[in-house]
Amino acid sequence: MVKITFIQPDGSQLVVDAEPGMTVMEAAKKHEVPGIEAECGGACACATCHVHVDEAWREKTGGPSEMEEDMLDFAFDVREGSRLSCQIKVTDALDGLVVRVPEKQF
């Protein structure tokens, strides 16, 4: 099991269990993390699963692909650590991952 911490805009935290092979978005949906809408179901076509990856984890998650970057143009409050959580695959190396949920998705 891989633990992922989602920090809400008000500072509250939710730690969820994820399995390697699923995406960070799927882990969020499974545990009903508020603020992750994921309208397109993980097809990199909606940008409503946007998160800010904590600085300490950016190297491990890597940056967005070109297609993801194009989609992020539609997201709200895009920052340096912005990723679409449906494009982050959970691996054992991401155990302890911390991401922040933006104030809104669009």
* Number of chain residues interacting with ligand FES (CB under 6 A): 15
Cβ atoms of residues 20 and 93 within 8 Å: no
Are the beta carbons of 61 and 88 closer than 8 angstroms? Answer: yes
The mark string for 40-79 relative to ligand FES (x by CB under 6 A, - otherwise) is x-xxxxxxxx---------------------x--------
Is residue 90 at the binding interface for ligand FES, with CB under 6 A as the rule?
A: no
List contacts with ligand FES (CB under 6 A): 25, 38-40, 42-49, 71, 84, 86
